[in-house]
A and B are shown apart, each in its own frame.
Chain A
């Protein structure tokens, strides 16, 4: 069973960089698939942030692209998110998920999510 677990600070100051890591178990990232980050502001809908292939190839949401970096560490079987210059608008629950890419692209396994609050 594939499992994903997000980790990182729950509180980030405005203008700083948000950093999260997603640890994957039950599946080797090196075996394939894309891996992604999605966020959900309190009381709002889902927003895709970006995705990365095990080789390091990335796709980013154009609205966030200038501030986002997603990287992968196959030796640790994990991938990471960095979002720079955060503001209160970046306060959200952040999910990591596996993006299945056989045929079409959809998320079949999700982490439980982690709340990140941007506040001084």
Chain B
């Protein structure tokens, strides 16, 4: 089965840029989606199809995907961005599965 690897934690100072990676075998050939989850809340889609943003998501959130790594970039980080972030792909190679990464805790210093 397909595996997505995320760093457990990323720390950044307010106003700086946070980059959260999601590694997978030839992930650049897949579409990657990103969710933000704050404590006690359901996940919220922040980026879909590698780099598109749903309505209402700030332009500070962007994504890229190439080779074996997809990246969620949060510019001008704010205290309210502190949350867990999960990447997700659809693996159609065998079992037709939704696959989530293990999640990354973003800490705003």
Contact = CB atoms under 8 A, between A and B. Distances in A.
A15 interface: no
A62 B31 CA distance: 21
Contact of B103 (A45, A61, A99, A110): A45
Contact of A110 (B42, B48, B99, B102): B42
A48 to B, nearest CB: 4
Contacts of B44: 110
SS class of chain A's interface: helix, strand, loop or mixed?
strand
Given A46-B43, A62-B1, A112-B42, A106 B33 contact: yes
Nearest to B31: A104
Interface string B66-103: 00000000000000000010101010000111111111
A45 B100 contact: yes
A103 B52 CA distance: 12
A110 B37 CA distance: 11
B108 interface: no
Interface in A93-119: 95, 99-100, 103-108, 110-113
Contact of B98 (A36, A95, A111): A36
Contact of A108 (B30, B31, B45, B101): B45
Interface of A: 36, 38, 45-48, 51, 59, 61-62, 95, 99-100, 103-108, 110-113
